[in-house]
Amino acid sequence: MKLKYYSKKISLNYNKDKCIGCGFCVEVCPREVFNIFESKAVIENKDLCIECGACAKNCPAKAISVDAGVACAYAMLTSKNGECSCGDGGCC
């Protein structure tokens, strides 16, 4: 059972023309958003995306873009740009 969250504003964007079919997006995604179909990546479950940014970071063709960040209310409340301060004497 895949746990679901509010997903109407997911910022994930993918340009199929740039894709070279390396499969890294499938490899790194913790939510199984991507799959490979006919040598190109396809977005199968956009509503499961957590905007972690692993796919965009590891795409050699820069075909993926996303407004990545930390989905943590505490980080958003305590820092200007929603950055996590765990380990800097911060929350954790």
Partner 1 sequence: MILKNSLQKAGGYKKTVIPVIQTDKRFSKGSYIYKNIIVPKIRSNYTFKDRLSDIRVRLGFKRMSYSIKPGLYAIGSPDENSDVIVTANYLLTINKIRKKLTDFNCWVIVLDTKGVNVWCAAGKGTFGTNELIKKISSSPIQKIIKHNTLILPQFGAVGIDAFEVQKKTGFKIKYGPVRIDDLVEYKNNNYKKDNKMKTVTFNFFERFEVTPLELIFSTKYLLSIIAVLTLFGIFKKDFQTVLNIGFIPVFSGVITGTILVPLMLPFIPFKFFSLKGVLLGFIVSFFLTLLIPQILLPLILITVPLSGFTAMNFTGSTPFTNVSGVKLEVKYFTPVFIVWLAAGIIFTIYKLFN
Which residues make up the interface to partner 1 (CB under 8 A)?
1-7, 9-11, 24, 27-28, 30-32, 48-54, 57-58, 60, 67-77, 82-84, 86-88, 91-92
The smaller minimum CB distance to partner 1, of residues 15 and 71, is found at 71
Closer residue to partner 1, CB minimum distance, 27 or 44: 27
What's the maximum distance between 2 C-alpha atoms anywhere in the chain? 48
From the CB of 55, what's the least distance to partner 1, in Å? 8
Task: Answer for the pair 47, 7: CB distance below 8 angstroms, yes or no.
Answer: yes
Which of the 8 DSSP states describes residue 43?
E
Residue 33 carries which DSSP code?
-
